[in-house]
Amino acid sequence: MTDTIAAGVQPTAPDEVGEARSLGQDAWRALKKNKLFWASVVLIVLFVLMAIWPSLFTNQDPTYGDISRVRQRPSAEHWFGTDGQGYDIYSRTIYGARASIIVGICTSIATLLVGGVIGIIAGFYGGWVDAVVSRITDIFFAIPLLLGGILFMASFPNDANTPYFVIVGKVVLTLTIFGWPSIARLMRSSVLQVKPNEYVLAARALGASPWRIIRSHILPNALAPAIVVATINLGAYIVAEATLSFLGIGLTPPAISWGVAISDALVAIRTYPHILLFPSLFLSLAVLAFIMLGDAVRDAFDPKSR
């Protein structure tokens, strides 16, 4: 044990003394060695490719249903079999990635922006601003995501002619409205941790504007936890979209998504489990990839775990 440590430290030790590494560079070095990180990156790249160019993976038309070949088992012609409408499950699973990835990524970015800004305002200004903003955060935090989502989606229903991006946009908006408070709370507490540091006091004493203090001192030091949670939440939003679709209220046909496919497949689980298996598998892999990425990034940014 001591030998390996000594062997590992000695050759690099002289370099490391002269080299001043930032937290970000440090984290990157730790990440590069993490196998889980690379596994999740590969998966995510695959899913993002599927979302952008589904035709790279399949040349079948996901909207072509052949009623004479419904619920077929996997075969050479239809790798994953066909579903209850005679659609090719493989191509629908590939095309379904788009909805989940868009919902996941857009919702995460939107909650990070909204929650981040609100959390910084509450944490940085304090006093009555904090009191008011924190109460507003509490209000949205107290409404369960799923219930709020159901209500919101019911208030603005889709019909068969609603364009694809409007349907997806609504889901993103819903999840953002009820999802930002967790980021805001986190951001507020990390700003409160950073604010009393000497470098912030020094910047203030030198007459830096609040905007400058936030941008170049508070933000870089308080952002890491929020980014980690947003990455992990990305998986949760993908599941939330699927759940809303399962309840028949999130994405609605003709939009193709894993959630819609799973909810359609559930009726035939006893007789045709393969229809359920493939979309669930892809959905779970996508969620898994983002959770593993978040975990890896958190470990990298958390010096205590080393």
Partner 1 sequence: MGKYIVRRLLQMIPVVLGATFIIFAMVFALPGDPTAGKCGERPCSPEYVAKFREEHNLNDPLPVQYGKYLGKLVQGDLGTNYYGIPVKEDLAKRYTITGRLAVMAIAFEAIIGILAGVLAGVRKGRFIDNLVTVSTLFVISIPVFVIGVFMQYTLGIKWGIFPATVPSLDASTWSLVLPAFVLGALSIAYVARLTRTNLVENLRADYVRTAAAKGLSKQRTVGVHTLRNSLIPVITFIGADFGALLGGAIVTERIFNIQGVGGYIFRSINSRDGVAVVSAVTVLVIVYLLVNLLVDLLYGVLDPRISHD
Q: Provide the binding-site residues for partner 1, judged by CB under 8 A.
A: 135-136, 138-140, 142-147, 150-152, 154-157, 235, 239, 242-243, 246-247, 259, 262-263, 266, 269-270, 276, 280, 283-285, 287-288, 291-292, 304
Q: What are phi and psi of 208, to 5 degrees?
A: -70, 145
**26 or 302: CB nearest partner 1:** 302
The gap from C-alpha 75 to its chain's centroid, in whole angstroms, comes to: 34
Backbone dihedral region for residue 81 (phi beyond 0: left; psi -120 to 50: alpha; all else: beta):
left
Cα angle 27, 287, 30; round to 5: 15
**69 or 141: CB nearest partner 1:** 141
Min CB(274)–partner 1 separation in Å: 14
Whether residue 143 contacts residue 178, with contact meaning beta carbons closer than 8 Å, is answered with yes
Name 88's bridge partners.
Answer: 82
What's the rounded Cα separation, in Å, for the pair 46 and 43? Answer: 5
Min CB(171)–partner 1 separation in Å: 15
* Look-up of token digits 């993103």: 172
Q: Cα dihedral sign for 54, 56, 59, 60?
A: negative
Min CB(298)–partner 1 separation in Å: 10
Residue type, 181: P
**175 or 283: CB nearest partner 1:** 283
Name 82's bridge partners.
Answer: 88
Residue type, 241: E
Min CB(297)–partner 1 separation in Å: 15
Min CB(77)–partner 1 separation in Å: 27
Q: Which two tokens stand for residue 78?
A: 């239809």
Min CB(155)–partner 1 separation in Å: 5
**26 or 295: CB nearest partner 1:** 295
Q: Helix 89-125 vs helix 127-142: angle between axes, to the nearest 10 degrees?
A: 150
| 279, burial (CB in 10 Å: exposed 0-12, middle 13-18, buried 19+) | buried
Min CB(250)–partner 1 separation in Å: 12
